[in-house]
């Protein structure tokens, strides 16, 4: 029997010797850069990072400084500021005054327009108390003045032949004193009535007086608000009665062709040379009446400031 030498024990498992080099690690970012970035974002302003430590110090110091003291004003600056305050205070006072005046004038305008409209809408009609000595019709082609009244827009106006107290313009005596009279009246309490009366023998005076009274109706229709505005302005009606009467007669002369001499011997002569439409309104404005609707622009104290 052949004997073999014993099998040597198996050697332990071995690797071939090899050298292993791990891959290089990425470079380490400086920590101060990350800190600077966080601080910059938190504060909300860009920070130029010249040095990490410097940034941290600057940011820390910024949070600890006290607010700067206000600038000191010179005496001249203080004077200028004080003058500006006074000037603006004066301007505010002027604006308040202008605003108040505008509102007052606007209220006056609105109220007087309402009063005039209410008066003109009146329908009161008087009754004759004393018969007209001259009869119940005027001489001429228009015995009741209807054609003339219609021609001036007085379509609702009628003539009342009245010799009593309602006819303020008549003071006839029936010729007892050697004179004959003719007179007429317009009373605003009866906005659609003209009063007429005359003595027999005064027929030649009747038409011119009738036209004069019709002109008072026209004044009432067109200038009643102006009269109220004159009242508000403190203008006594007696101070312009003569001009009011003259305006009526001059309108009869200049507009309707009544001879000027027809009024020379009357209580209401035409004494306005160069009379024109709107004369009485301008006259009352000259006395201080505010005869136009208030315009806000007229009350401006400074540009673009209106009450």
Rg of the chain taking only CA atoms, in angstroms: 52
Q: What's the confidence (pLDDT) of residue 40?
A: 41
Q: What's the confidence (pLDDT) of residue 57?
A: 47
Q: Point out which residues pair with 262 in neighbouring strands.
A: none
**This prediction's pTM:** 0.70
Residues 47/55, Cβ–Cβ less than 8 Å: yes
Give the model's confidence band at 26: pLDDT under 50 very low, under 70 low, under 90 confident, else very high.
low
Is 59 buried (19+), middle (13-18) or exposed (0-12) by CB count in 10 A?
Answer: middle
Q: What's the confidence (pLDDT) of residue 130?
A: 94
Instruction: Say which residue, 104 or 89, is predicted with more confidence.
Output: 104
pLDDT (mean) for 226-239:
98
| Residue from 209, 202, 283, 204 nearest 241 by CA | 283
| Residue from 155, 167, 163 nearest 192 by CA | 155
pLDDT (mean) for 195-219:
97
Cα torsion 51, 54, 56, 59: sign:
negative
| Residue from 144, 148, 161 nearest 211 by CA | 148
Contacts of 219 (CB under 8 A, 6+ apart): 244, 247, 248, 280
What percent of the chain is helix, strand and coil (3-state, nearest 5)? Answer: 45, 5, 50
Residues 122/157, Cβ–Cβ less than 8 Å: no
Give the model's confidence band at 69: pLDDT under 50 very low, under 70 low, under 90 confident, else very high.
confident
Q: What is the mean pLDDT of the chain?
A: 82
Instruction: Say which residue, 287 or 68, is predicted with more confidence.
Output: 287
Give the model's confidence band at 25: pLDDT under 50 very low, under 70 low, under 90 confident, else very high.
low
- At residue 74, the 3 state secondary structure works out as coil
């Amino acid at each position: 029997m052949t004997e073999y030498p014993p099998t040597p024990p198996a050697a332990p498992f071995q690797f071939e010797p090899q050298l292993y080099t791990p891959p290089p690690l990425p470079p380490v970012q400086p920590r101060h850069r990350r800190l600077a970035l966080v601080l910059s974002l938190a504060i909300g302003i860009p920070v130029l990072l010249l040095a990490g430590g410097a940034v941290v110090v600057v940011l820390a110091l910024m949070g600890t400084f006290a607010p700067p003291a206000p600038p000191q004003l010179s005496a001249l600056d203080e004077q200028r500021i004080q003058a500006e305050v006074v000037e603006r205070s004066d301007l505010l006072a002027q604006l308040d005054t202008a605003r108040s005046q505008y509102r007052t004038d606007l209220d006056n305008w609105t109220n007087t327009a309402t009063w005039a409209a209410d008066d003109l809408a009146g329908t009161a009609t008087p009754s004759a108390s004393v018969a007209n000595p001259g009869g119940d019709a005027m001489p001429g082609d228009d015995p009741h003045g209807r054609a003339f009244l219609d021609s001036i827009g007085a379509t609702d106006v009628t003539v009342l032949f009245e010799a009593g107290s309602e006819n303020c313009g008549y003071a006839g005596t029936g010729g007892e004193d050697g004179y004959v009279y003719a007179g007429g009246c317009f009373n605003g309490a009866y906005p659609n009535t003209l009063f007429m009366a005359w003595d027999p023998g005064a027929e030649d005076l009747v038409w011119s007086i009738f036209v004069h009274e019709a002109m008072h109706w026209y004044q009432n229709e067109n200038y009643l608000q102006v009269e109220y505005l004159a009242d508000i302005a403190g203008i006594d009606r007696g101070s312009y009665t003569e001009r009011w009467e003259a305006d009526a007669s001059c309108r009869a002369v200049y507009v309707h062709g009544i001879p000027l001499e027809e009024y020379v011997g009357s209580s209401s002569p035409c004494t306005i040379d160069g009379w024109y439409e709107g004369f009485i309104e301008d006259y009352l404005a000259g006395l201080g009446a505010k005869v136009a609707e208030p315009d806000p622009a007229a009350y401006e104290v400074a540009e673009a400031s209106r009450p």
